[in-house]
Chains A and B, each alone.
Chain A
Amino acid sequence: MIKVRIPTPLRPLTKNQGEVEATAGSIAEMIENLNAAHPGLKDRLCDDKGELRRFVNIYVNEEDIRFLKGKDTSLKDGDEVSIVPAIAGGN
C-alpha cells in the first residue's frame, strides 16, 4: 500500500481527503488507479499526451520523480507519494 498526499487544490476530487491510499508498482500505474477511484484526477496531473504537467510535481519519499524515472519511477509498499502543484497566492 502506498500513501498519496493530495494537495489542497485537488481535494475536491478526493472528497476533501488530504491523503489517500493506492496500490501500484509505478507512478504511471498509481495515476491510473487513483483516477479510477477519483475520476478527473489524471486530467489534473497529466496533459493531453499523458505527460505530467510542468507545474505539478510528484515526489516519492521527498524525491522529485522528474529526476528519477518520471512516470516509470517504481513504487514499493510503504512509499509515500506527494503531489505538489505550483501555487502563486501571496496577496
Chain B
Amino acid sequence: MEFTEAQLERYSRHIILSDVGGKGQKKLSQAKVLVIGAGGLGSPAALYLAAAGIGTLGLADGDVVDLSNLQRQILHTTDRIGVPKVESGRQTLAALNPDITIKTYQYHVSADNIMGLIADYDMVLDGSDNFSTRFMINDACFFARKTLISGSIFRFEGQLTTIKPHEGFPCYRCLYPEPPPAGLVPNCQEAGVLGVLAGTIGVLQAAEAIKEILKIGDTVADKLLIYDALEMKFRKVSRPKDPNCRLCGPHPTIKNLSGDYAVSCAI
C-alpha cells in the first residue's frame, strides 16, 4: 500500500520522526487495535489512535451516551445523548480520520463473545469499568496471545501496564491474583472520577499501543505505572511474573473462560 499525497501530509509529523518514518507509519496503517469500552479511557485512546492512522480500529461497548458521561468521555457530544456509544464514537473518529476502518460492536463484551471478537485484532486496549470484565479480558488475551494495554482509573488515581505473557512478561493475574469481593469497596457509581484523569491514562494507553506496534522505546510490561493527579506524581513499581500464577504459571488452574467472572463492579 502506498500513501497518497494527502496521507503523506496528514502523517508528516510522524514520518519525519526517525523512529517512525514511512515504514513505521505503514505499520500503523496495517495495525488492528480493539478498544473495549468507548467511555472514559476508550475515548481519548481511540481519538489518538485514529489520528495516528491505526488502519483498523474496533470499538466495543453496549451502552448509550448519557449526560453524566460527557464530563470525561470526549468521543461523545451533547446532541448524541441516547445514541449508542459505538455509533457516536464511529462518527467522531470518522470525522477525524476518514482513511481508517472503524468497526463497531454494540454489545457488552463477555466470556461468550470475547474470543471471536479479539481474534481479528493484533492488540486490545482495556477501557472497561469493572473487575469481572478486566479479569476476563486478561484471560482471553492470554489464551489468544494478544497484547493487552491495561489502564484503570479511580477518583484521582490511575494505573497503566502492558500485558503480554506470550512474550514472557507477566499477566494481570500475576499483578493481582483475584478481584475483590463485592461490597468491600465503593461501587462504580459511588466512586467518582476526575474527568481529565481518564484523558491522562487513556492517552498513555494509546502511546503504549503505538510503541508496541512500532516496537520502539521501553515497555511497561514489567512495571506498573501509578499516577496520582493530586500529588502530580508518576511512580513505577516492578511487576514480576508470578511463578504460582493460576493462568500463566507452569501449573495453571484456569484453562479456559468457563470460570465465574460474575463479581460486582466494586472497585
Do A90 and B237 form a contact, CB below 8 Å, given A8-B154, A18-B231? no
Do A86 and B237 form a contact, CB below 8 Å, given A7-B157, A8-B156, A91-B37? no
Q: Which chain A residue lies CB-closest to B191?
A: A89
> How far apart are the CA atoms of A8 and B28 in the complex, in Å?
36
**Is B168 interfacial (CB 8 A cutoff)?**
no
Interface residue from B73, B186, B238, B266 paired with A64 (Cβ < 8 Å): B238
List of A residues within 8 angstroms of B237 by Cβ:
57, 59, 62-64, 82, 84
Interface members, chain B 142-167 (any A CB < 8 Å): 151-159
> How far apart are the CA atoms of A26 and B265 in the complex, in Å?
33
Do A90 and B231 form a contact, CB below 8 Å, given A9-B185, A55-B180, A66-B242? no
Do A87 and B157 form a contact, CB below 8 Å, given A9-B186, A18-B228, A64-B238? yes
**Chain A positions 15 through 34: 1 when the CB is less than 8 Å from some CB of chain B, otherwise 0:** 00010000000000000000
**Is A76 interfacial (CB 8 A cutoff)?**
no
Interface members, chain A 24-63 (any B CB < 8 Å): 44, 53-55, 57, 59, 62-63
Question: Does A90 contact B186, Cβ atoms closer than 8 Å?
Answer: no
**Is B15 interfacial (CB 8 A cutoff)?**
no
> How far apart are the CA atoms of A85 and B226 in the complex, in Å?
11
Question: Does A86 contact B176, Cβ atoms closer than 8 Å?
Answer: yes
> How far apart are the CA atoms of A21 and B193 in the complex, in Å?
27
Minimum Cβ distance to chain B for residue A31 (Å): 17
Minimum Cβ distance to chain A for residue B74 (Å): 13
List of A residues within 8 angstroms of B198 by Cβ:
90
Q: Give the interface size class of chain A.
A: 20 to 34
Do A89 and B176 form a contact, CB below 8 Å, given A8-B156, A18-B230, A84-B237? no
**Is B26 interfacial (CB 8 A cutoff)?**
no
Question: Does B238 contact A9, Cβ atoms closer than 8 Å?
Answer: no
Question: Does A82 contact B188, Cβ atoms closer than 8 Å?
Answer: no
Centre residue among B37, B237, B239, B265 by max chain A CB count within 10 A: B237
Minimum Cβ distance to chain A for residue B195 (Å): 12
List of A residues within 8 angstroms of B156 by Cβ:
8
Please choose the segment from B112-120, B124-132, B252-260 that sits at the chain A interface, where 4 or more of its residues have CB less than 8 A away. B124-132
Question: Does B179 contact A86, Cβ atoms closer than 8 Å?
Answer: yes
11 additional contacts, CB 8 Å, given A62-B235, A82-B237? A18-B230, A53-B180, A54-B177, A55-B131, A62-B238, A63-B237, A82-B235, A84-B237, A88-B134, A90-B37, A90-B41
6 contacts between A and B (CB under 8 A): A64-B237, A82-B235, A86-B180, A87-B153, A89-B152, A90-B129
